Every structure is written in C-alpha cells, then in structure tokens.
Amino acid sequence: MVGAAAGAALAVACLHRFGWSWEFVAYAVLMAAAIEQTIVDASTKLLVRGTTNVAGGLGLVLLTVAALVRGEPGRIGTMLACALLVGASLGLVALAARGGLGAGDVRLGAVLAMYTGWLGWSEAATAVATGIAAAGAVALLLIAVGRATLRTRIALGPFLLVAAVVTVLASPVR
C-alpha cells in the first residue's frame, strides 16, 4: 500500500516536473524502479539486478529519444559520461573495500548517474555525493548510539535512490 501511494505521488511529481514528454516516461520508469529497489534493499541489503538493468536500458533509450526530440544531442554524451564515471569510481571503491560495497550498488550508481546526468553534470554529482554523504551520516549516527559497529552492513541503495529522486524532482528545468 505504501509503495502504491509513493508511486502515485512520484508519478504526479514527474508529470508536474516534465509534463507529457519523453522525459516524463523515462523518469516515471526511474521512480517505479526506485520504489521497488528502496523497499528491497532496505529489507534484504540486496538490489534486484533485473530491475536495475531494465531501468537502465529503458532510461537509455527514452532519454536518448528525449534529447533528440529536444534537439539537444549533447545530453546523450553527458549522461553516458556520468554513468561511466560513477560506475568506474564506485567499481574501484568496491574493489578496495573488499565486500563493503556490492556490485549491485555499483550498477545502481551508474544507472542513477545516467538519469541525473541527462539533467546535467552538477545534478549527477549532487545526487551521488548526497546519497553517499547521507549513508555515511546515518552510519556514524548508528555507531554513535550503539546500534551499529564498523562491521555493520548499511544498505547504500536507498540513500542513492532517494538522493537521485530528490535531485531529479528539485533540479531546475533547462
């Protein structure tokens, strides 16, 4: 029930933000995936690969069409560069962290960077940095109050997802 209410609210917010457009359809896909992944990752500490892959594939096609319809093909390069940069960066962190960051988080980060990167470089950077900072702040708070240790696993996905959704809905229309 909560997921359905959140889905309806996010659909209305996307429609308000983008109007009836290719962008609306693309970001509606993101919102649906964000709801599912947030619920699953928060409860299981795992991200559904198929959901991330479908959201990424559909987003790539829909946002490419949106950029071409708008006559702004530069957005395609920006979104792909953001996805590559964030995916590679998180991949290096995952290798260095030895299990502290999963492949699902790396894939999700790249997909979210693609969506936010379509809006611009600063939006992608804001979403990723905010998600990571929020996860770190919550982890530190949990450690400070004795509810977690340095070995406790904290799901990063929900923080990345919420940061991306807020960034998409709050960023200026260009």
55 Cβ partners below 8 Å, 6+ apart? 29, 30, 32, 33, 111
Range of the domain at 72: 2-170
Q: pLDDT tens digits for 67-118?
A: 999 999 999 999 999 999 999 999 999 999 887 788 999 999 999 999 999 9
Number of domains composing the chain = 1
> pTM higher than 0.85 for the full model?
yes
Q: For the packed helices 103-119 and 22-44, what is the interaxial angle rounded to 10 degrees?
A: 150
pLDDT-derived band at 8, boundaries 50, 70, 90: confident
CA dihedral 13, 17, 21, 25 (to 10 degrees): -40
